[in-house]
Structures are given as C-alpha cells and as structure tokens.
Amino acid sequence: MSNLAALKSKIGDDMFQRLDKEANKEVGLAKQMPLLEEVSQKQKFYIQRDWLGDLLQECELFEDKKLKIMPTEVVDLLFRCKMLYAAGSEMEYRQRTGGWDFNSPVVSAIHWTDKSQPIEAMIEQALDSLNKDVRERSLLIRLNSFVSAQPQNLIAVQSFFNTLFQSLRLPMEAFIVGESLIESHKKWEPYGKHTAEAASDFYQSPSIAFKTLGSQHYCFWRSAFFARTFLNLLRIGSFIHPGQIEFGREVKIEPPYHPVFLGTHSHGCFVWNEDKKAPWAKVPDGSLFLSFGYRGFSPMWLDRRTFSRLTQFMTEQKPVFTSLENPWVARSIDDVVPALDILSSAVQIPDLGAKILLIYTCLEHLFVPSGTRTNQKHFIIGGLNALRPSFLPWFEKLYTLRCDYAHRGFVIRSDETIALTIQSAGNALNLLLAKLTVP
C-alpha cells in the first residue's frame, strides 16, 4: 500500500479533504504575495500561517490513530507539492514556500527538477520522506532560578529527578551535574572532548528532557505538553511543600529558553512572546523561581529535606499525566493545561492577595461555564457539592479573603493567610484531579 493510501485509510477521506483544503487555501494566499518589495526591491519570502490552532481536532484524531506525524506537517507537505506546479520558476517556488530550509525532510524531498512527475508521485515521495523522519528524540529544557543547600547537593538533586521520573514512569531524564554526565556524553560523541565542562555544555545542564518517538514536529509538541505540565506541577508542589525559604536573595527573571532537541548542538534562544499564546501553545519554561509574598522573589530551594514530600506530591498527580496521553483532547486543552498555568502563576507571583485572587480564578475556570458573567460563586459551590462537599468551609474562607483583597487592595501577611493560601493551592489542584475522574 502506498504512503498516501495508508494515510487516507487511517484518517479517512473526509479528514484528508479538510487538510487538502487548508493546503489549497495556503497556495492561494502565497500566490497573492508580491515577489519583490516595492521600496527595497529585495526578494520576499512567504511566511505560512500557523495552522495548529485550527487543527486541534485533527491532532486529536492523528494521536488516536497512533500516527507519529502531525496534521500540520501533512498540510505543509501538500502545500509545497501544489506550489511546485503553481509556480513559474524555481525562484518563485522557493520564495512562495518560504526559502531553502533543507533541515525539513519534506523540503529536502521536493525538487524543482522533479516537476515533470505527476503531483501524486510528488506527494508520495514527500510522505515517504516524512515517515522516514520518525525517530526517537529528546526535547531539552534548561532549568534556572533554583538553589541547593550545598554544591554537592546537586548530586542529590540529580538522584531526586531520576527517582521521580522512574516512579511516574515518564520518559524523562535530568542533566544536573556535569561530571556525572561525562560517560553519557561519550556515547553521544565518542571522539569529542570528555570533560565536565564539555558535558555540561552538551546537555545545557542543569536541564531536563522528555523523550518520545515521532517526526520532529510531533516530538516537539508531545514533549512540550508533558514537560510544561511537569514543571508547573513541580512549582506548585514546591509551594505547597516548601523547602528552606531564604529572603533577600535576588532572582534574575528571564523569559523561557526555547527548547532544543538533544544532540543537535543547538542552544535555545530567549523567547519573549509567550504571553501572546494560549496556555497549550506556550513553550515549557524552565525557570523554577518561587515567591512567598514578601521581599520580592525567592528562588526554589531544592534539597533532600523536601524530596520525599515532593515525590509523594508528584506521584499523586498521575491522573494529570494520564489525561495527557492524548494531549489534544478538549479536556486537556480547555481544563488541565489552563488550570495548571493559572496555579503555576499563582505560586510565583509575589503579592499574597494576588495569589488568592488567581487561585479563586482557577476555581472559576474549573466550574463556571464559559460566557457566564454573574453568580460565578454559585457555580463553584455547585461543583464543590458534587466533587468535594468537605471543601465548603475552606471555600468560604477563601472567598472572604478574595473579597477583602478586591475591596481593600491588600491582604495582611500572617501565618494564617499564608497557611490558607498554601491550602487553597492544594485544594484547587485536588479539585482538578477530582474533575478528571468524572466521565
């Protein structure tokens, strides 16, 4: 069976026609682009639309069918094949498809000199190249803004992550201590320099990586979902079960590094525009700073005194990771990812009252129907009655504090308010887990 026939048999003719329609639309838009800028007379290159947000249902189906490629890659493939026959010259073809990105298996498979072939043959050739690109990759996320009690404690941090990933049965690795990574580095690059500095640079340590099998785009997005979820839960867990708090230590606030694939000798660049994206589309942020509502920011303190609690906490969140087996389903996109994003922001923001307000917003997200503008509290109470009636007294305390903050603009920092805030973050996460158990 041909690659094209196999794809159509798995996703169905209707689904393929929807992808083909997107490709035709892209060809029409690319053809409207002038080939020269009027002022500078320089060649222009077409920038494709970001189709992913419009193809979430298609992504869900591809995952259900256990395809290790993305529907966006199929649209890109069809677009490039169609443009080959719509362009009048090779230069026009390159300009209207975006340039010479030969790192892409699809781009490298489509040649202007093959234009004499039928388009079906070109699509088959490009699909074959895309399928051959399916392999195991590890997405690397650099960590920053955390401290340890002693330098040698980094070995314990490495062991903590190793044990945690094994207990969660997640295909993740941690690269914390350069010297312990030398032997692993030798396997990747047997003829290079094998020093602690070289290994640290190769793994961009301290860092974590998520390993998965698929095309490049498939590996990126699947890994991004799981890595972002893990990092958000780690921040929330470290707020609920804090280690040593050291006030006055400055934290350098940085935008996230764009993740890179391990072994590609690429180094991630700073990403500044993640606030323009929906939560599911943001890159995993390896910044682990935590705030405690006093004297600005405090870095996360990772030491062996908190590892057992954090391990237990993360193990209890297995239903969250299970919900991401198909990360493109509506429950993941609309419930899990935004809720964790809100709670992660809540535990990091410095103002104590803002933490309370964000946690309350998380409850609204979980229980208030979209578009509702009044009586939000009643929907939250209804959700609590259905899932956790014992949480009602806690919610009344939270709601009172939320109203006080909204009306007065501040919350007095006290042991009681801090305890309530920590309890509220845990209860909000507990309610998310409870909601995930409801069919």
Residue at 113 is within a domain: yes
Q: Give the CA-trace dihedral at 407, 412, 415, 418, to 10 degrees.
A: 50
The verdict on 257 and 396 lying in the same domain is no
Final residue of a structural domain among 100, 132, 164: 132
pLDDT tens profile 49-61: 888 999 999 999 9
The verdict on 73 and 146 lying in the same domain is no
Residue at 45 is within a domain: yes
Residue 1's pLDDT is 74
Q: How many CA atoms lie within 13 A of 103 on its CB side?
A: 3
pLDDT tens profile 219-269: 999 999 999 999 999 999 999 998 776 665 677 778 888 999 998 888 888
Percent of the chain with pLDDT over 90: 59
Q: How many CA atoms lie within 13 A of 188 on its CB side?
A: 17
Joined tokens for residue 248: 């006055």
The verdict on 17 and 113 lying in the same domain is yes
Residue at 329 is within a domain: no
Residue at 344 is within a domain: no
Give the chain's domain count: 3
The verdict on 21 and 160 lying in the same domain is no
The verdict on 36 and 178 lying in the same domain is no
Joined tokens for residue 237: 């867990």
> What Rg value do the Cα atoms of the chain yield, rounded?
25
Residue 115's pLDDT is 85
Q: What is the DSSP string of 394-425?
A: HHHHHHHHHHHHHHHS-----HHHHHHHHHHH
Residue 299 or 342, more confident: 342
Final residue of a structural domain among 314, 343, 365: 314
pLDDT tens profile 278-289: 999 999 999 998
Confidence of residue 394 (pLDDT cuts 50, 70, 90): very high
E strands along 244-334, which residues?
260-261, 290-291, 297-298, 300-301
The verdict on 296 and 360 lying in the same domain is no
Helix (H) or strand (E) holding 59: helix 56-64
Taking the C-alpha atoms of residue 170 and residue 227, their distance in angstroms, rounded to an integer, is 10
The verdict on 180 and 253 lying in the same domain is yes
Residue at 319 is within a domain: no
* pLDDT at 207 > cutoff 60: yes
Confidence of residue 296 (pLDDT cuts 50, 70, 90): low
> Residue 64: helix, strand or coil by DSSP?
helix
The verdict on 213 and 301 lying in the same domain is yes
Joined tokens for residue 216: 């490049």
Taking the C-alpha atoms of residue 259 and residue 224, their distance in angstroms, rounded to an integer, is 8
The arithmetic mean of pLDDT across residues 286-310, rounded, is 79
The verdict on 374 and 409 lying in the same domain is yes
pLDDT tens profile 5-51: 999 999 999 999 999 999 999 999 999 888 865 555 566 788 888 88
The verdict on 17 and 126 lying in the same domain is yes
Residue 397's pLDDT is 96
pLDDT tens profile 93-132: 888 888 766 678 888 788 888 888 899 999 999 999 999 9
- Domain of residue 181 covers 135-314
The C-alpha angle 265, 108, 203, rounded to 5 degrees, equals 10
Helix (H) or strand (E) holding 212: strand 207-214
Residue at 398 is within a domain: yes
The model's pTM is: 0.92
Taking the C-alpha atoms of residue 434 and residue 427, their distance in angstroms, rounded to an integer, is 10
Residue at 388 is within a domain: yes
Percent of the chain with pLDDT over 70: 94
Taking the C-alpha atoms of residue 418 and residue 344, their distance in angstroms, rounded to an integer, is 16
Task: Say if residues 413 and 293 touch (Cβ distance below 8 Å).
Answer: yes
Q: What is the DSSP string of 151-201?
A: TTHHHHHHHHHHHHHHHHT--EEEE--SGGGHHHHHHH-TTS--SHHHHHH
The verdict on 268 and 397 lying in the same domain is no
The verdict on 146 and 117 lying in the same domain is no
Confidence of residue 341 (pLDDT cuts 50, 70, 90): very high
Q: What's the first-to-final CA gap in the chain, in angstroms?
A: 38
Residue at 321 is within a domain: no
Joined tokens for residue 278: 């929906």
Residue 114 or 137, more confident: 137
